[in-house]
Amino acid sequence: MRPYLFVGMIFLLVAGASDPPMPYGDYSQWCSAYGTCKESLGRREAERAIEGYFAVRRLQATNIQHRGRFVEAEIYNNGRLVDKILFDRKTGRIRSTY
């Protein structure tokens, strides 16, 4: 096994042990599980959906920026950045930008 591959695997194990799992293609409660909303969420509704989704997981969503249909946010765990996400206001889909 190559040394850099081994070191990378160890890093992922250590880093993953302390961080809660991040969403990948998950949906907020504001829209259906099929990824459709009756209407695009407004700016404030989108912010509440993001904040609520992560609050349940004991994480904080901050630095929320609107970019047309999409909303970007940084996710923090105990003051440490753990992810950056993209929220689709039309479908309610949340995904990591990493």
Neighbours of 77 (CB within 10 A): 16
Q: How many domains does the chain have?
A: 1
Question: Tokens at residue 85, please?
Answer: 């996400």
Q: How far apart are the first and last CA of the chain?
A: 26
Task: Indicate the Cα dihedral angle 21, 69, 71, 88, nearest 10°.
Answer: -10
Does 34 map to a domain?
yes
- pLDDT tens digit string along 78-97? 999 999 999 998 888 889 98
Domain that holds residue 69: 22-96
Does 92 map to a domain?
yes
Query: Is the model's pLDDT at 48 over the cut of 60?
Result: yes
Neighbours of 24 (CB within 10 A): 10
Whole-model pTM: value is: 0.67
